Amino acid sequence: MDKGNNVTQRTKSAAELLVECLEAQGTDRIFTVPGESFLAVLDALHGQSGIETVICRQEGGAAFMACADGAMSAAGDALRPGIAFVTRGPGATNASIGVHVAMQDSQPMILFVGDVARPCRDREGFQEINFEAFFGPIAKWAARIDDPARVPEYIARAYSVAISGRPGPVVLALPEDMLCDPVSADLAPRPLAVRPTQAVCPDAMQALFAMIADAASPIAIIGGAGWNTKARLGFQQFAERIGLPVATAFRRQDAIDPNSSVYAGNLGYGPNPKLIERVKNADLVLTVGARLGEATTDGYEVPSLEHPDQLLIHIHPDPDEIGRVYRTDLGIACSVDEFAEAASLWEDASIIPFDAGAEANAQWREWATHTPSQTPPSLDMAACVTAMREALPDDSIICNGAGNFAGWWHRYWRYAGYPSQLAPTAGAMGYGVPASVAAALRYTDRTVVAVAGDGDFLMNGQELATAAQYGVNLIVLVVDNGAYGTIRMHQEREYPGRVSGTGLSNPDFAMLGASFGGWSATATTTQEFVSALNEAKNREGLRLIHMKIDVEQLAASGATISGLRSKPS
């Protein structure tokens, strides 16, 4: 309180105002590794019931949890960014991996970084980094709040930027002395930021349907920026009505119900070869939400950048993405859910339903159904995923990081719920465990499974401590082949038999899981895995199954070390 001039003025700290702004924007959970640079915020959160503070064990894990939390919000009524708080210097650089993933994956996230006090700026103070310069290239917006009176302005703008157009990450640096500055108690948060609704242009829709009517072999590629349950339902109804084959972009397999009669499978690494040929031979490619990144397009080859014998229609909420990389014949900048709804309701008698949707679906089902081998490996990964489909609910949420191990789930699992696939299109290792903790906290009524390779798991496996601390229900599968398997595969392809830098010496992962207070088991055969899974599903809390496989079983495509070595050079 200020009693100068005999007038009592009520005040609050900038940190208290910041927390009020978070609440006003609908934040109900933040992820953090505490730091002395934002102690005032932690104090403002003390005893505060509207926002849960989840304490993590490493800033990369906290950022991944926020990234996943933002991605999951699309299934609700409104897209909201996931929120993480970390300290300056080491904390921020650790967390930068989550910012990178949020950007490449088009997921809303805000990273708050406690910063050096304002008088120390530009003196290379303790752990000082120019965060605007550091995060600028990998975030939608990076800024610093120096004036405590502008906290409501910056927070509202951060939320708006994170959810608008192509969703993505925002980084705000918070000088520690600014957080302690007093502001008027009457200074209030700005209203809730709402994602703008970008309606589809009727003339553009007319042109789109005319192009579809003229096509002989069209295909759709869907999933990505702004995708939600409304988009999922509307686009599926539209595609099924006209028999349009629908492929999902890399790691966007929950963008359509896998039971749809026109689902053609997923693009990315290790897709169905028949789907690749279908995309190459299509005379019209309809892309909705996806930005046609390198993984989805197999290095910008499927479809090709110029696609001389194809027409490309690109629907995306951000006009800057349309025509940015690919030559586009018709671009429509609008909300993908608004487009999907309009397409599902549009009547055009000139379109004769295609047979291709049913044909592509049959090809996908054949490719995505496990056929037992006469000489299967002791622990057959394809058989294990098939057993999971029989044992676990259809709407289970599968979370994974990066590595060849994920390919078995991409091929044989059915992502029936929404959301049900949390996996980084940026290919970041260590994502799966933190993402699964965020999912288990957000969806307490659904089965959540973290799938990790041995190398992948040990990059953020410490977040099992977070899972245990908050008592989440979580199944963790660690696929252990004693190698960085993806790199080993490329190594054997390029330099057969010359193994270098890819072998791993691992702990007993079952014992590690038990050390966190969880139930655990080890499986070296398919039957042992099935038995362990059946026991795990009937338990609660943290459950970990250590799956030991031979490195010979390299990928869901069937690639093996012996097979790669036997290929002629």
Q: What is the pLDDT of residue 5?
A: 57
Rg of the chain (C-alpha set): 25
How confident is the model at residue 77, as a pLDDT? 67
Rounded to whole angstroms, the Cα distance separating 381 from 554 reads: 10
562 band by pLDDT with thresholds 50, 70 and 90: confident
pLDDT confidence bin for 566, thresholds 50/70/90: confident
Q: pLDDT band at 563, cuts 50/70/90?
A: confident
Q: How many residues does the chain have?
A: 569
pLDDT at position 516, please? 97
Q: Give the separation between CA 406 and CA 477, rounded to whole angstroms.
A: 11
- pLDDT of amino acid 260: 98
Is the predicted pLDDT of residue 2 greater than 60, yes or no?
no
**pLDDT (tens digit per residue) in 503-539:** 989 999 999 999 999 999 999 999 999 999 999 999 9
Please report the pLDDT score of residue 109 as a whole number.
Answer: 98
As a whole-number percent, the residues of the chain with pLDDT over 70 amount to 98
| pTM beyond cutoff 0.75 | yes
What is the band of 433 on the pLDDT scale with cuts at 50, 70, 90? Answer: very high
- Pick the residue with more confidence: 351 or 431? 431
Q: What is the pLDDT of residues 139-178, one digit of tens each?
A: 999 999 999 999 999 999 999 999 999 999 999 999 999 9
**Mean pLDDT across 444-473:** 97
Residue 198's pLDDT band, with cuts at 50, 70 and 90, is confident
| Local confidence band at 7 (pLDDT 50, 70, 90 cut-offs) | low
Give pLDDT, residue 182: 97
Whether residue 292 contacts residue 221, with contact meaning beta carbons closer than 8 Å, is answered with yes
- Can you list the alpha helix ranges (DSSP code H) found in 217-348? 229-242, 273-281, 336-345
Q: What is the DSSP string of 198-239?
A: -PPPHHHHHHHHHHHHH-SSEEEEE--TT--HHHHHHHHHHH
pLDDT, residue 78, reads 84
Q: At what angle do helices 356-367 and 229-242 cross, to 10 degrees?
A: 120
* Mean pLDDT lowest among 83-97, 187-201, 425-439, 448-462: 187-201
The band of 480, judged by pLDDT with boundaries at 50, 70 and 90, is very high
pLDDT band at 28 (very low <50, low <70, confident <90, very high): very high
96: Cβ contacts below 8 Å, ≥ 6 apart: 63, 134, 135, 138
pLDDT tens-digit series, residues 33-70:
999 999 999 999 998 889 999 999 999 999 999 999 99
Contact 452, 477 (CB under 8 A): yes
Tell whether the model's pLDDT for residue 569 goes beyond 70.
no
Give the pLDDT confidence score for residue 347 in this predicted structure: 85
> Would you give the distance in Å from CA 302 to the centre of its chain?
22
DSSP state of 555: -
Q: Angle 526-537/381-391 helices, nearest 10 degrees? A: 30
542 close to 474: Cβ distance less than 8 angstroms: yes
299-320 confidence digits (pLDDT tens): 999 999 999 999 999 999 999 9
Which two structure tokens, joined as six digits, stand for 563? 């097979």
Closest by CA position to 205, among listed 354, 345, 353: 345
Label residue 366 by pLDDT band (50, 70, 90).
very high
**Over 454-510, what HEC string results?**
HHHHHHHHHHHHHHHHCCCCEEEEEEECCECHHHHHHHHHHCCCCCCCCECCCCCHH
Query: What per-residue confidence (pLDDT) applies to 126?
Result: 86
For 295, other C-beta atoms within 10 Å of its C-beta total 16
pLDDT at position 564, please?
Answer: 86
- Spatial CA neighbour of 34 closest among 65, 57, 60, 64: 57
The model's pLDDT over 374-425, given as tens digits with 9 standing for 90+, comes to: 889 999 999 999 999 999 999 999 999 999 999 999 999 999 999 999 999 9
